[in-house]
Structure 1
């Protein structure tokens, strides 16, 4: 029986990836380094340090010869400056209902401060576990973040469902052995083809999630109390 729903943040809960890409592009432009925004969409879900490293390597720059920490600091500041927080209304509508039926978690590759700030401001009290890209040594596409959620909530991987919107996240869910439903918010359906199910948009995602079979409320509350 399904007990846990695990959500990516950017592109699933919050329409924010354009701000991530714009902030990163501003910083790279200032440095005179070419950057294709689509590369960030394709790498979405990976820890920020890995995204920066991949972008530099694509331009023939060794990240070890570059002030990556300084670049990430400037990116965080720029992101905070331009961000306009906007959740997907379909998620606003269904998450309070889903919380009564399942344990809920967020697994994001974004920085810890960003993740907790966004979730705290838009979804306060909704999620049982929130993991950022800084909380584990290995992030997406490794399965570690999803497996950590199962461990923390004391459930089997077969009792978890992952909601993703990016290739790295889908790959991580596949490798974790968890059912994955994906929505192509910013990428092509082909790039997330290994998901167990693909929905066209957030409306269809909401309908799918609300139609899931769920355990008795007492069982969910018992698991929630054990976690707390």
Structure 2
């Protein structure tokens, strides 16, 4: 039986990707380097350093010859400056109910300080595990982040369900062997067609998640105590 729900953060829990792209665009503009915002949406879920390296390589710049760490630090500062935190209403409505039915986890490719700040401010005491891009050696599209959650909670692959909104995340869930629900927040449905279940929007996502078969509340609380 399903025991664990694993959520991506940007675009699934929080409507924040536009701030990521604006922050990165601002830094690239200051450096005089061309950047296509769509590339960030397409690479969403990957580690920040991997996205930056891809953007540089696309413009013929070798990341090894560039101060990538410095660029990322400037991006983090700009992101924090412009971010307006906004969770999806449907997520706010269903998470407290889902917490009574399942173990809940966040798996994001974003930097640790950003992930924990956002989750702490919007979803305090909701998630049992929060993983950032810095918590695994290989991030999405590798299956490692999802497999780590299963290992940490001592559950089987078939007992986990992943909610993703980007191709990299869907691929990672597929490779982990976990059932994946895709919601096309910022990308086309076609780009996440490999998800096991596609929903049109967060309203449909909420309905689907609340309709899932789940363990008894006592069993969930017992699991939560074991893995605290």
Distance 1:41 1:20 in 2: 9
Q: Tell me the alpha carbon deviations over residues 102-152 of structure 1, each in whole angstroms, 9 at most, x when there is no partner.
A: 000000000000000000000000000000000011000000000000000
Distance 2:7 2:185 in 1: 14
Find out whether 1:61 has 2:61 as its counterpart. Answer: yes
Find out whether 1:14 has 2:3 as its counterpart. Answer: no
Name the SS for the 1:29 alignment partner: helix
Unaligned runs of 5+ in 1: none
1:82 offset after TM fit, Å?
Answer: 0.3
- Hey, what does 1:157 align to over in structure 2? 157
- After TM superposition, the runs of 4+ consecutive aligned structure 1 residues lying more than 4 A away are none
Find out whether 1:114 has 2:118 as its counterpart. Answer: no
- Hey, what does 1:84 align to over in structure 2? 84
1:187 offset after TM fit, Å?
Answer: 0.3
1:89 offset after TM fit, Å?
Answer: 0.4
1:216 offset after TM fit, Å?
Answer: 1.2
Distance 1:62 1:190 in 2: 32
1:217 offset after TM fit, Å?
Answer: 1.3
- Hey, what does 2:220 align to over in structure 1? 220
Per the normalisation by structure 1, the TM-score is: 0.99
Unaligned runs of 5+ in 2: none
Distance 1:114 1:142 in 2: 21
- Number of aligned residue pairs: 228
- Hey, what does 1:173 align to over in structure 2? 173
Per the normalisation by structure 2, the TM-score is: 0.99
* CA-atom RMSD in angstroms: 0.4
- Hey, what does 1:143 align to over in structure 2? 143
